Structure 1
Amino acid sequence: MNLIFRLFGVILCALTAVWRGRGIGFLENSVLRFRVWPTDLDLNMHMTNARYFSLMDLGRTDLMIRVGLGNAILKNRWQPVLGAANIRFRRSLKPFQPFTLVSRVLCWDEKYIFMEHRLETASGTAALAVVQGAFVTRGAVVPPLEVLAALGVDCPSPPMPDAVAAWRGQPLSAAAV
Structure 2
Amino acid sequence: MHLLLRTLLLLLRSTRRPPLTVWDAASLNLRVLPTDIDIALHVNNGMYLSLMDLGRFDLMVRSRVWKRMRRRGWGPVVASETITFRRSLQLWQRYSIETRIIGLDAKAIYFEQRMVADGEIYASAYIATRLVTRGGPVSQEEILKEFGEPPVDLVLPEWIAAWRAASALPGARTPAPHAWAGRD
TM range (shorter): 0.7 to 0.9
Once residues 158 and 106 of structure 2 are traced to their aligned partners in structure 1, the CA distance between those partners, rounded to angstroms, is 17
TM-score between the two structures when normalised by the length of structure 2: 0.82
Is this contact kept in 2: 1:99–1:121, CA < 8 A? yes
Aligned residue in 2 for 1:31: 27
Distance 1:123 1:141, change over 3 A: same
Task: Give the equivalent residue in structure 2 for 1:173.
Answer: none
Query: Which AA in structure 2 matches 1:9?
Result: L
Partner of 2:149: 154
Give the distance between the partners of 1:66 and 1:144, measured in 2 at CA.
21
User: Structure 2: how far apart are the matches of 1:38 and 1:124?
Assistant: 22
Amino acid paired to 2:98: V
Which residue is equivalent to 1:167?
Answer: 163
Alpha-carbon distance between aligned partners in 2 of 1:161 and 1:45, rounded to the nearest angstrom: 35
Structure 2 counterpart of 1:133: 129
Between the aligned residues of both structures, percent identity stands at: 33
Partners of 1:124 and 1:71 lie apart in 2 by 33
Q: 1:148 to 1:72 in 2, by over 3 A?
A: same
Bigger CA drift: 37-46 or 100-109? Answer: 37-46
The answer as to whether partners of 1:2 and 1:54 remain within 8 angstroms in 2 is no
- Looking at structure 2, the residues matched to 38 and 8 of structure 1 have their Cα atoms a distance apart, in angstroms, of 19
Cα distance between partner residues in 2 of 1:72 and 1:62: 14
Whole-Å Cα distance in 1 between the matches of residues 22 and 71 of structure 2?
A: 19
Q: Distance in 2 between matches of 1:163 and 1:45?
A: 35
* TM-fit CA distance, 1:118: 0.3
Distance 1:90 1:123 in 2: 13
Query: How far apart, in 1, do the equivalents of 2:11 and 2:51 lie?
Result: 13
Q: Which residue of structure 2 aligns with residue 75 of structure 1?
A: 71
Q: Which runs of 5+ in 2 are unaligned?
A: 167-184
Answer whether contact 2:96 2:115 (CA < 8 A) is retained.
yes
The alpha-carbon deviation at position 9 of structure 1 amounts to 2.6
Secondary structure in 1 aligned to 2:16?
helix
Q: Say how many residue pairs are matched.
A: 165
Task: Please show how residues 69-148 of structure 1 align to structure 2 within 5 Å.
Answer: 69-122=65-118, 124-148=120-144
Q: Let me know the Cα RMSD of the aligned residues.
A: 1.8
1:48 aligns with 2:21: no
Q: Would you say 1:14 and 2:10 are equivalent positions?
A: no
Larger CA Rg, structure 1 vs 2: 2
CA distance in 2, matches of 1:70, 1:97: 29
Q: Which stretch of the first structure deviates more once superposed, 101-110 or 1-10?
A: 1-10
* CA displacement at 1:98 relative to structure 2: 0.7
Distance apart, 1:157 and its partner CA: 7.7
| Inter-partner Cα distance in structure 2 for 1:123 and 1:148 | 33
